[in-house]
Chains A and B, each alone.
Chain A
Amino acid sequence: MNPKLFIKFVSVSFQKQVTYRFDCFVGIVNGFLYVFIFTSLWKALYSQFDTTVHNGYTLTAIVTYAVLVMAVRISFTMDDSIIYRKVMDGSISMELIRPTSFFFMNLAENVGHSLFHMMARTVPIVVISVLLFDIYIPLEVIRILLFLVSCIAGYILVSMMNFIAGLLSFWFIEIFPFLLFKYAFYTFFSGGIVPIDFFPEFLKPVVALLPFQYMLYFPTTILIGRASLADAQSIIVAQLIWIVIMGVICHLMWGAGKKKLIIQGG
């Protein structure tokens, strides 16, 4: 897929989101709600002990984490029913006729969607949070750059996750239960609420086997300074490995799905 086409799809998707302005305003409230709840929770938890550091996080660090991981998470907002809808109304067959890669088109659509959410929701939420809470981010240029690279990698992983979940529509009439599963796994294992450092020891091997921590947790740790610059590089390498693994899964599933589509006729 050529870059120009990719950008075109992104902008189309972006503009579609612009029509849902009211939803977006509500979305700011919605996102901030969660930030508020979790920062309150952390403050309450930390106040119960004399020690100021738990699992390597000071109160400031954990509050920063809570805000930033939510910011990243909201920026990664995607519509996970796109493929399902296309299968249901039959327009999925158009994808077979088009000479473009379905995966990249899907990714472009995700990017357009997310860019809008990032601008309309993440920015206000971060601004409000910075004003209300005690947040600290080490302002090193290299760190921020590594964070951005890691975010892009994490984003691709999330897109792949949703792509795989969406492809299940070929085999199941109702994929909502699967989406719930995916959402549960994603929320829990990505460190989207509680950083992996707090997880009990017996869970850590399980977490290591799954790609989810590379979607939200690791990119965020780079930005808040929890991961050193050297760590950051190995994180990005690990993300790239996971991209390859999940990429293979995506490819195989799409192949199988296409076959089913051609045989069944939709």
Chain B
Amino acid sequence: MESIKIYLTLFTTSIKARMEYKASFLFYVFAILSFYAGQFGLLFILLNRFHEIKGWSVGEMVFLYSLQAFAFGFTNLIFSQLVNFDKMIVDGEFDRVLVRPLSPLGQVIFSKFEVSTAAHLIIGFTALYFGSCYANIEWTLYKVILFPVIVTGGVLIAGGIRLMVTAVAFWTLRNRSLVHTVIFSSKEFINYPVNIYNMGMQFFLTFVFPIAFINFYPAHFFLDRSGAGLLHPSLEMGTPIVGIVVITISIFSWKAGVNHYQSTGS
């Protein structure tokens, strides 16, 4: 559709806008890499001492991490502007979005180019490579095809959650701290295999706030692991379905938010 061409143009424009600050781009990517190196460092220190985490070896942990890195990298690429969305409402920028002959969601999504994606992808590929090697993953054709599907599902989940928590801004205006907690802090949960938590939390991360589907469950499939905890065989493949459900709910909540904005102003 022609609309897609328009959104792509919007996106390339936002890349151009970001590139106006060329010098800091590389530096920024490097800074993000070092931040994650710090996180990895701590993980390695623990694994060095304890050899494994609840049955997950070093290689498996690293592979687990790669799934998350890819999902968040692409989510950041697409949904990054949502982090600052509350500012758009408070400043009145959203009015301008409504006065254009385009979908408001499309405009908001394609309006910012997020640099950290490059860093996430570097980490993702690195972790995928080393994780694969150390965990001795047998890459069948099936697994290779399914990997991008799982990552896409992860993006739908992470992006959908981000969209939903952002839409809260339509009602509460300022919600920066909530956004920060839900999007960034909650990531910490899935840095580790979800079966380290008690049953209640595992249930929460599977059925209420389903981020365990981003990396934990699908990892079992790729690593040919048998499950522990809440794991059913079916949950391994649940990621794409959960992703579709989450993104659908989130689009509805976004639309509800826009409706609310249009009836109550700001």
Would A and B touch once assembled, by the CB under 8 A criterion? yes
Chain A residues engaging chain B, CB cutoff 8 angstroms: 20, 22-23, 26-27, 29-30, 33-34, 36-37, 40-41, 43-45, 48-49, 54-55, 173-174, 176-178, 180-181, 183-185, 187-188, 193-194, 198-200, 203
Q: A176 vs B115: C-alpha distance in the bound complex, in angstroms? A: 12
CB contacts (< 8 Å) of B52 on chain A: these are 48
B32 at the interface (CB under 8 A from A): yes
CB contacts (< 8 Å) of B32 on chain A: these are 177, 180
B53 at the interface (CB under 8 A from A): yes
Q: A55 vs B50: C-alpha distance in the bound complex, in angstroms? A: 11
Q: Which B185-202 residues sit within 8 Å CB-CB of chain A?
A: 185-186, 188-189, 192, 195-198, 201
- Dominant SS among interface residues on chain B: helix
Q: A41 vs B21: C-alpha distance in the bound complex, in angstroms? A: 41
Chain B 4-37 interface mask (CB, 8 Å, partner A; 1/0): 0000000000000000010010011011101101
B249 at the interface (CB under 8 A from A): no
Identify which of B128-136, B154-162, B173-181, B210-218 touches chain A: B173-181
Query: Within the complex, which residue of A37, A177, A198 is in contact with B28, where a contact is CB–CB below 8 Å?
Result: A177
Query: Within the complex, which residue of A27, A36, A177 is in contact with B31, where a contact is CB–CB below 8 Å?
Result: A177
Query: Within the complex, which residue of B28, B37, B46 is in contact with A176, where a contact is CB–CB below 8 Å?
Result: B28
| Least CB separation from B188: chain A residue | A37
- Contact check, B35 vs A180: say whether CB atoms are below 8 A apart: yes
- Contact check, B181 vs A30: say whether CB atoms are below 8 A apart: yes
B41 at the interface (CB under 8 A from A): yes
- Contact check, B177 vs A178: say whether CB atoms are below 8 A apart: no
Given pairs A37-B188, A180-B34, A188-B41, 13 additional interface contacts (CB within 8 A): A27-B177, A30-B180, A34-B185, A36-B201, A40-B201, A44-B195, A45-B46, A45-B50, A45-B53, A177-B31, A178-B31, A180-B35, A183-B35
- Contact check, A198 vs B49: say whether CB atoms are below 8 A apart: yes
Q: A187 vs B195: C-alpha distance in the bound complex, in angstroms? A: 25
B38 at the interface (CB under 8 A from A): yes
- Contact check, A181 vs B177: say whether CB atoms are below 8 A apart: no
CB distance from A46 to the nearest CB of B (A): 8
Q: Which 7 residue pairs are nearest across A and B when measured between Cβ atoms? A: A177-B31, A184-B38, A44-B196, A23-B177, A180-B31, A188-B38, A26-B177
